[in-house]
A and B are shown apart, each in its own frame.
Chain A
Amino acid sequence: MSFIDLIQILDSTIRLSTPLLLACLAGLFSERAGIFDIGLEGKMLMAAFFSAAVAAMTGSVWLGLLAGIASSLALSALHGLASISFRGNQLISGVAINFLAAGITVLIAQDWFQQGGRTPSLMGGGRFTPVTLPFADALAGVPILGPIYAELLSGHSVLVYFAFLAVPATWFVLFRTRFGLRLRAVGENPAAVDTAGVSVVRLRYAAVMICGVLCGVAGAYLATALQAGFVKDMTAGRGFIALAALIFAKWRPWHALYACLLFGLLQAVALRYQNIDLGGVVIPVQAMDALPYILTVIILAGFVGKAIPPKAGGEPYVKER
């Protein structure tokens, strides 16, 4: 493998990690507040469709992004209604949201565009274009560092940079602000937060809504930056890989970044090579596909450190108890 190959693989790692990272941080906010969310996949899918549809119709990718975020927020509100207001089962609500998104996106796509459940290909202003970082062209000739800067770091869409900047932002919000402290507390011991006179319901809704916004950006990235348009089931399990990454990262923002980069790398390698020949032993491509899930099961089983979820996760808060 040459240096250029390596740069290309890492470049596609960054692009493939971005939706995982956004969805993973989305899940981080929700689960840190004690709301399990296995509906990340559905929210991403919904946002992917609406962002591509609106971008195709208006020609503006920014309007598309807004539509994607709005549709993802609508599903978040539904999840909040079911799991916070009506104290329903959060896992079942997540399952329902995934199916709702899988069905309704194709239904509306067929009605609006008649192209077998996809949107028209996005062109021009309908897509996020690569951003060239300053001096990228000038520095491209510098050996080693030049290609790393010009090829690897520069030339991604603005959402990629947003996703990577969201990591320190998430860390700061969760661990350095009063809101973050309360949000984490509500995921561990909601009764204590309630006793302190802070609304558990409002905090949890806030967390679920932040989750919706980030999933919306993730979905819009998939349909308007990574690919040019929406196709049926285009999230392809990314929401669940993000969930796996979240557990792998043990619900911490910086570790979420590392986990998503690792899983993105696995996807990039699986995309580029079919079967990997390691001197006699051939690793089939299916093993690469399954690796994120296998790693997560191992982590969950506590064989490599213990993954302890937020204590009040998954439990509806009942005030009068």
Chain B
Amino acid sequence: MDKMPRWADVVLIPLISLILAAILSALVILFIGEDPVAAVKLMVTGALGSTYGWGYTLYYATNFMFTGLAVAVAFHARLFNIGGEGQAMLGGLGVALICLMVPWPHWSFALVGAVGASMLFGALWAVIPAYLQAARGSHIVITTIMFNFIAAALLNYFLVNLLRPVGSMDPASARFPEAVHLPTLHELLAPLGISFSKAAPANVSLLVAIAACFLVWALIWRTRLGYEIRAYGHSQTAARYAGISPMRITVVTMVISGGLAGLMAVNNVMGEAERLVMNATEGAGFIGIAVALMGRSHPFGVFIAALLFGFLYQGGAELALWTSIPRELIVVIQALVILFTGALDNMVRMPLERMFLAIGRRRRDRGEGAPLPRPTPAPLDKKE
């Protein structure tokens, strides 16, 4: 049977979903008595109008790249990792421990150490649900949700009872030493003669995130393991028949996914706060779901979607500052994006598919045009 052309699946459907989400968001803004056009203008100038705005946009985008990649990798094996939030929290714990315990001589060594520690802690928090899913059949969505809450309690315990400096009332760790301070974009770009805002938190972890996008792309499409992950995601029975161990793929995929989510801590804990605070993740783990869905689980798509959400986050903060629209507008937009690109995907897809099929038929009736190529199926659309 003919299918839609690939560009429609990869570009058109997310675009239409995004437009639907934007229209509904505009209606919400109208409903609370504000002007959507003015709001968008304010968001654009606030997020992209200055290097300060860009600095925040890129900082948020860095977070979302990591968590988006984490969800995307799991999607390829048809696993829904909803525990990015908890894995990122644990990653933060790893970063805090290694930054406070080890006397680092230079930030570059500390960065390597922190990347290792955050990935290890994030992966540890993902491997238990993965093992339970593979060995005991407990649903990974439920276990990762539970692990988010357990992570929050664990972090609370660590911050209140163990990491809090003596005499401090604030449930937060001590400040990291000066030596582990990661260079911000201001410091990185200054030698090149580019002046960038000093106050903005975007830092060298942005480069780590971009590198992670490349590595994930290479892993998924250029390695044997990536092939096995995708094969397992397409058909578990076929993968098993081909000698791919479900246990191994589930655990390895979740280790990679949890590691990526944990890696976010290098940006927000080490790069921005420079200490571990309660609720450091600020829901970025969940935004990863929206980012991965919008980016169609492709690292490049995740990169673009993360930038978009970075823009929304910084723009939303500006809106909250200058108008009476609260920051929660972003949560609504995020919900609408998840709804349209994820849950209501078929609502957009089915009419489009019919349209393209009709066009294809008409062309064939006139005796021209080759059959349309097969699109890659979106992850998580249906179980086989």
Contact = CB atoms under 8 A, between A and B. Distances in A.
Given A88-B342, A92-B380, A93-B342, A289 B289 contact: no
A105 to B, nearest CB: 8
Interface stretch (B7-15, B97-105, B114-122, B323-331): B323-331
B137 interface: yes
B366 interface: no
A110 B326 contact: yes
Contacts of B336: 96, 100
Interface stretch (B49-57, B139-147, B221-229, B242-250): B139-147
B146 A296 contact: yes
B28 A87 contact: no
A243 B142 contact: yes
B346 A86 contact: yes
Contacts of B204: none
Contacts of A66: none
B153 interface: yes
B326 A106 contact: yes
Contacts of B330: 103
Nearest to A289: B153
Main secondary structure of the interface of A (DSSP, over half): helix
Interface string A277-298: 0000000101101100110110
A244 interface: yes
A152 B165 CA distance: 43
Contacts of B380: 89, 92
Interface string B8-39: 00000000000000000000100111000000
Given A83-B343, A92-B293, A93-B339, A103 B332 contact: yes
Interface in B117-155: 128, 132, 136-139, 141-143, 145-147, 149-150, 153-154
Contact of B136 (A284, A294, A301): A301
Interface string A60-86: 000000000000000000100111001
Interface string A199-229: 0000000000000000000000000000000
B128 to A, nearest CB: 8
Nearest to B380: A89
Given A100-B332, A315-B383, A290 B142 contact: no
A137 interface: no
B320 to A, nearest CB: 10
A107 B138 contact: no
Given A99-B286, A315-B383, A301 B343 contact: no
Given A82-B339, A286-B154, A289-B153, A103 B329 contact: yes
A301 B153 CA distance: 21
Nearest to A313: B139
A166 interface: no
B146 A293 contact: yes
A293 B150 contact: yes
A125 interface: no
B344 to A, nearest CB: 5
A240 B145 contact: yes
Nearest to A104: B332
Contacts of A106: 326, 328, 331
Interface in B300-345: 324-326, 328-336, 338-339, 342-345
Given A89-B345, A107-B32, 8 more contacts: A83-B343, A92-B342, A96-B342, A107-B328, A108-B32, A293-B147, A293-B150, A316-B382
Interface of A: 38, 78, 81-83, 86-93, 95-100, 102-104, 106-108, 110-111, 114, 117, 237, 240, 243-244, 247, 284, 286-287, 289-290, 293-294, 296-297, 300-302, 307, 309, 315-316
List the 9 closest A-B pairs by CB distance, nearest first.
Answer: A103-B331, A99-B335, A93-B343, A103-B332, A300-B138, A290-B153, A92-B342, A100-B335, A96-B339
26 contacts: A82-B344, A83-B343, A88-B343, A88-B346, A88-B347, A89-B342, A92-B289, A92-B293, A92-B343, A95-B342, A96-B335, A96-B343, A99-B335, A103-B329, A103-B331, A106-B328, A107-B32, A107-B329, A110-B324, A110-B326, A243-B142, A284-B157, A286-B153, A289-B153, A296-B146, A316-B382
